[in-house]
Amino acid sequence: MKAITHDLSASGKNVHIVPLADLHIGDSQADMKAIQEMLNQILALDDVYCILGGDLMDSAIASSIGDTYAAKLQPMEQLQKCVELFQPLADAGKILGVLPGNHENRIYKAAGVDMTRVFCDQLGLTELYSETTALYFLKVGSQSRGRPFVYTLYYTHGSGGGRKAGGKINRLMDYANIVDADIYVCCHTHMPAVAKMEYIRPVPQNGTLAHVEKTFVNTASSLVYGGYGDRQGYAPASNSYPVIELHGEGGTEKAVTVHI
Ligand SMILES: [Mn+2]
Task: State the distance from the centre of ligand 1 to the C-alpha of 55, rounded, in angstroms.
Answer: 6
* pLDDT reported for residue 26: 94
pLDDT at 214 over 80: yes
* pLDDT reported for residue 145: 86
* pLDDT reported for residue 229: 86
Q: Kindly state the average pLDDT of the residues 233-249.
A: 95
Instruction: Give me the helices (H) in the chain, please.
Output: 32-44, 75-91, 102-111, 115-123, 165-174, 227-231
Task: State the distance from the centre of ligand 1 to the C-alpha of 22, rounded, in angstroms.
Answer: 6
Task: State the distance from the centre of ligand 1 to the C-alpha of 138, rounded, in angstroms.
Answer: 25
How does strand 183-186 pair with strand 193-203? unpaired
Are the beta carbons of 25 and 217 closer than 8 angstroms? no
* 3-state secondary structure (DSSP) of residue 58: coil
The Cα–Cα gap between 85 and 46 comes to 19
The Cα–Cα gap between 41 and 171 comes to 30
Task: State the distance from the centre of ligand 1 to the C-alpha of 165, rounded, in angstroms.
Answer: 16
Task: State the distance from the centre of ligand 1 to the C-alpha of 228, rounded, in angstroms.
Answer: 14
The Cα–Cα gap between 233 and 210 comes to 46
Contacts of 255 (CB under 8 A, 6+ apart): 246, 247
CA dihedral over 30, 90, 20, 102, signed as positive or negative: positive
Kindly report the average pLDDT of the chain as a whole number.
Answer: 95
pTM: 0.96
Task: State the distance from the centre of ligand 1 to the C-alpha of 36, rounded, in angstroms.
Answer: 20
Percent share of the chain, pLDDT over 90: 89
Task: State the distance from the centre of ligand 1 to the C-alpha of 37, rounded, in angstroms.
Answer: 22
Task: State the distance from the centre of ligand 1 to the C-alpha of 238, rounded, in angstroms.
Answer: 16
Task: State the distance from the centre of ligand 1 to the C-alpha of 152, rounded, in angstroms.
Answer: 23
Q: Kindly state the average pLDDT of the residues 190-204.
A: 97
* pLDDT reported for residue 224: 95
Task: State the distance from the centre of ligand 1 to the C-alpha of 107, rounded, in angstroms.
Answer: 14
pLDDT tens-digit profile of 2-35? 999 999 999 999 999 999 999 999 999 999 999 9
* Alpha carbon distances (Å) from 20 to 75, 232, 245: 19, 24, 15
Nearest to 1 by CA among 178, 241, 196: 178
Distance of CA 77 to the CA centre of its chain: 23
Q: Kindly state the average pLDDT of the residues 102-109.
A: 93
Task: State the distance from the centre of ligand 1 to the C-alpha of 70, rounded, in angstroms.
Answer: 19
Task: State the distance from the centre of ligand 1 to the C-alpha of 145, rounded, in angstroms.
Answer: 42
Task: State the distance from the centre of ligand 1 to the C-alpha of 168, rounded, in angstroms.
Answer: 13
* pLDDT reported for residue 179: 98
pLDDT tens-digit profile of 126-179? 999 999 999 999 999 999 888 999 999 999 999 998 889 999 999 999 999 999
Are the beta carbons of 249 and 12 closer than 8 angstroms? yes
Task: State the distance from the centre of ligand 1 to the C-alpha of 89, rounded, in angstroms.
Answer: 23
Nearest to 227 by CA among 241, 213, 237: 237
pLDDT tens-digit profile of 42-67? 999 999 999 999 999 999 888 877 77
Task: State the distance from the centre of ligand 1 to the C-alpha of 102, rounded, in angstroms.
Answer: 5
pLDDT at 77 over 80: yes
